[in-house]
Structure 1
Amino acid sequence: MIRKALFVRLEAKPGKEQAVADFLAAGLEMTNRETTTPIWFALRLSPATFGVFDAFASEEDRQAHLVGNMAQTLMARVDEMLACPPSVEQFDVLAMKNKLA
């Protein structure tokens, strides 16, 4: 059961919007290898603002993701791609519907 989640907001540097979009698209492969990250969305909120939504079964799974390959790769490229450090919000999931169209 999904109990924990994250929302990460990313602001691209001017001219780096496509680099951030490409990085997030490639991130699907990295997160698919994380067995404790069952739900992961990469989002474009505006031309220069991006987001990542992840959900997890436990706090331990969430913390594993925060120190995992995707997070480490992103943090290594912050200065190159982002206007400021990522904003990371952690929250509890109260209820969830997951039905594919």
Structure 2
Amino acid sequence: MSELAVWATITVLPGRQAEAERFFARSRAILDAEPGTTSFFVVRIDDETYGVFDTFADRAALEAHIAGGSGRDAVYAQVGTLFAAPPAITNATVVERGAAG
């Protein structure tokens, strides 16, 4: 099976960027311990919008992530206090991957 990917955009409440970035750093530590997570990136798109890109070895790894400590429940628990709304999520399949760098 091909590597799976998730692209999510999420809006942070005004003035909460530093707290959001700490949340993303904690998420990275959790994702680093997930054996099927093959990459994790967070990018700042503008002052209040962030993009998160994750890749997973297979469907089981993706499902484990969703159920894990930085997955759906962890993010949704922050809606209204840290995030303005649930993330907009796009699921995809990796077609080509460049060299690590």
TM-score of the pair, normalised by structure 2: 0.87
Alignment of 1:20-35 (within 5 A): 20-35=20-35
Alignment of 1:62-73 (within 5 A): 62-71=62-71, 72-73=73-74
Quick one: which amino acid aligns to residue 62 of structure 1? L
> Pairwise CA RMSD of aligned residues?
1.6
Q: Which residue in the other structure is 1:75 paired with?
A: 76
Q: Which residue in the other structure is 1:94 paired with?
A: 95
TM-score of the pair, normalised by structure 1: 0.87
Question: Deviation of residue 73 (structure 1)?
Answer: 2.1
Structure 2 residue matching 1:23: 3-state secondary structure:
helix
* Cα distance in 2, alignment partners of residues 9 and 48 from structure 1: 10
* Cα distance in 2, alignment partners of residues 99 and 80 from structure 1: 35
- In structure 1, stretches of 5+ residues that fail to align are none
Structure 1 residue matching 2:50: 3-state secondary structure:
strand
| Post-superposition CA distance 1:46-77 (Å, at most 9, x none) | 11111111011212211221121101322221
Question: Which of the pair is proportionally richer in helix?
Answer: 1
Range with bigger deviation, 57-66 or 46-55: 57-66
Question: Deviation of residue 2 (structure 1)?
Answer: 5.4
* Cα distance in 2, alignment partners of residues 2 and 39 from structure 1: 14
Percent of residue pairs bearing the same amino acid type: 26
Distance 1:82 1:13, change over 3 A: same
Give 4+ residue runs of structure 1 displaced > 3 Å after superposition.
Answer: none
CA contact (8 A) 1:9 1:49 kept: yes
Quick one: which amino acid aligns to residue 36 of structure 1? G
Question: Deviation of residue 89 (structure 1)?
Answer: 0.8
Q: Which residue in the other structure is 1:37 paired with?
A: 37
